Amino acid sequence: MVIVTAAVAAGPLVRRSTNKRSTWLAIVFGIGLALVPSAVNLLQTSGLWKPTPHFAVLSRLDALGFALILFGVAMSLRAASRSGEELRKQNAVLQQEASTDYLTGLLNRRQVGLLLDYGAARARRSGDALGFIMIDLDHFKNVNDTWGHQAGDAVLVHVARLLQRRMRASDMIARYGGEEFLVVLSDPNPDGIVTIADDLRRLVEQNSAEFGGQSIPITASFGVSVSLVNTEEAVQESIGRADAALYAAKAMGRNRVVGWDQAFHEGDDAVRDHIKTADVASAPTFKIA
């Protein structure tokens, strides 16, 4: 009767936790068995029941009941630990998805922006500069139109892997949007950043993407700037300079690297008009060789 009462009382808990039913049942029946000797003693004391010799085993049920309770508690703790681990894994996956580009696995634009804001705060203390290389794949629309959008996706992934292969662990690489990539170099040499960008340009040019048994040739244009980025506004201005230099590289024939200074001094009227409209006014810059 004690066991039945305990089971009925715990019924809602068991139904609510169907995936933990065996654990709850072990605890419930353990409690019931542990209470049997007390119930027997109460009946004996009140004179309502006189046990016969073969009921002597009832005095040992409390030990079995406590064993079942301990088993149920252990199972419950184990299940809670598994649930916590699964929750941590799910949170890690969600965080990864929120900070990376779904296609290439590179940082996405939002995450690189957050990291650059942090970098601006660090630059205020250290005085270090950052180098920005803006990359845009040439005639990418033709890839989609000729080979299809799946081929275009394959090209983006291919270029992302090429960039990752060449850059340092301290550098940041992001898919900035569409067929645009942004590389951020920590504490760069202003005289060498164009060389780094041109190495990347040749790497892309010399390694065609493969899709469906076909080789897809790729070239890209590069815009470069180096600036002190000690404020969030300076970060955006520096990216704007790299973007303006990229615009100049496109206007000058594509598949080339153009630094901010070159874009400013050698660009045609269209390039200069683009620079005038870009938000690139006040961030301190370095002359790029």
> Going from the N-terminus, what domains does the chain have, and what CATH number goes with each?
2-99 (no CATH), 109-277 (3.30.70.270)
Instruction: Kindly indicate the confidence band of residue 36, based on its pLDDT and cuts at 50, 70 and 90.
Output: low
| CA distances to 98, 131, 172 from 184, in Å | 20, 6, 5
Packed helices 21-46 and 2-16: angle between N→C axes, nearest 10 degrees? 160
Asked whether the predicted pLDDT for residue 83 surpasses 60, the reply is: yes
What amino acid occupies position 257? V
Tell me if residue 189 falls in helix, strand or coil. coil
* Across 201-228, average pLDDT: 95
Regarding beta strands 220-228 and 257-259, do their DSSP bridges make them parallel or antiparallel, or are they unpaired? parallel
pLDDT of the residue at 170: 85
Active-site annotation holds for 179 = yes
pLDDT of the residue at 190: 76
CA separation for the pair 255, 282 (Å, rounded): 29
In 276-286, which positions are buried (b, 16+ CB within 10 angstroms) versus exposed (e)? eebebeebebb
Instruction: Kindly indicate the confidence band of residue 153, based on its pLDDT and cuts at 50, 70 and 90.
Output: very high
Residues 6+ apart with CB under 8 A from 190: 129, 131, 226, 286, 287, 288, 289
pLDDT of the residue at 8: 43
Mean per-residue pLDDT over the chain, rounded = 76
pLDDT digits (tens, 9 = 90+) for 18-33: 456 566 555 555 565 5
CA 246 to chain centre: 28
Instruction: Kindly indicate the confidence band of residue 119, based on its pLDDT and cuts at 50, 70 and 90.
Output: confident
Which residue out of 85, 86, 97, 179 is catalytically annotated? 179
pLDDT of the residue at 20: 60
Residues 6+ apart with CB under 8 A from 239: 132, 134, 182, 225
How many other CB atoms sit within 10 Å of the CB of residue 227?
24
Dig out the tokens for 4 from the structure.
């039945």
pLDDT digits (tens, 9 = 90+) for 158-212: 999 999 999 888 899 999 999 999 999 987 887 789 999 999 999 999 999 999 9
pLDDT of the residue at 289: 45
Asked whether the predicted pLDDT for residue 216 surpasses 70, the reply is: yes
Asked if residue 171 lies in contact with residue 186, where contact means CB atoms within 8 angstroms, the answer is yes
Q: What is the DSSP letter of 104?
A: T
User: What is the number of H-type helices and E-type strands within the chain?
Assistant: 10, 7
